[in-house]
């Protein structure tokens, strides 16, 4: 994984328990690129959005997300989605693969090998037990 988006609802207090858990996961992975998305910005007043922005900055202070941009968005109204796409395109650089190795891929899926046992039917042959085979 090369980057992460930390989505925070603008109409709820920050941090929520799941936000703390997600930030802890990003800390463990030591990701270099992260964007904090302050979503549902259309549902709150400007003063509440600014207060939450300050709360988010205080929450991520001293973490890997400390210098990450906080982008106010509205997913429903598509407000600032273009800004997020531009940031990902221009700022998140995927590490190059070693030239001698192909990108990792999942192994091909094999069909199940266990098959039900064959039922042998009684063979009624024209030969009798006394005749040579």
What's the Rg (C-alpha) of the chain? 29
Tell whether 127 is covered by a domain.
no
Over residues 15-50, the pLDDT tens digits come to 888 888 888 888 888 887 889 999 999 999 999 999
- Evaluate whether residue 131 is within a structural domain: no
26 in helix, strand or coil? helix
Residue 86 counted as domain residue: yes
- Does 128 map to a domain? no
- Please state, in angstroms and rounded to a whole number, the distance separating the CA atoms of residues 89 and 81: 12
CATH of the domain at 59: 3.40.50.300
Q: Which two tokens stand for residue 119?
A: 């039922």
Residues of the domain holding 87? 3-91
Dump pLDDT digits (tens) for 56-102.
Answer: 999 999 888 888 899 999 989 999 999 889 888 888 776 666 656 66
Report if residue 109 sits inside a domain.
no
Beta-bridged to residue 34, according to DSSP, are 4
The answer to whether residue 29 sits within a structural domain is yes
DSSP assignment, residue 87?
Answer: H
Phi and psi at residue 70, to the nearest 5°:
-110, 115
Considering the domain boundaries, does residue 32 fall inside one?
yes
Which backbone phi and psi does 8 adopt, to 5 degrees? -125, 125
Residue 110 within a domain: no
What per-residue confidence (pLDDT) applies to 61? 92
Give the chain's domain count: 1
What residues contact 116, with CB distance under 8 A and at least 6 apart? none
Residue 121 tokens, joined: 């039917």
């Amino acid at each position: 994984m090369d980057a992460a988006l930390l989505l925070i609802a603008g109409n709820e207090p920050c941090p929520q328990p799941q936000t703390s858990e997600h930030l802890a996961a990003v800390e463990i992975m030591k990701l270099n690129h992260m964007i904090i998305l302050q979503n549902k910005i259309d549902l709150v007043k400007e003063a509440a959005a600014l207060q939450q922005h300050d709360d988010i900055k205080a929450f991520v202070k001293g973490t890997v997300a400390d210098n990450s941009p906080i982008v106010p968005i509205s997913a429903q109204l598509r407000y600032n989605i273009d800004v997020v796409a531009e940031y990902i395109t221009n700022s998140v650089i995927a590490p190059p693969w070693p030239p001698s190795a192909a990108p990792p891929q999942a192994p091909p899926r094999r069909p199940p090998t266990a098959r039900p046992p064959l039922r042998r039917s009684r063979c009624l042959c024209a030969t009798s037990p006394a005749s040579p085979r």
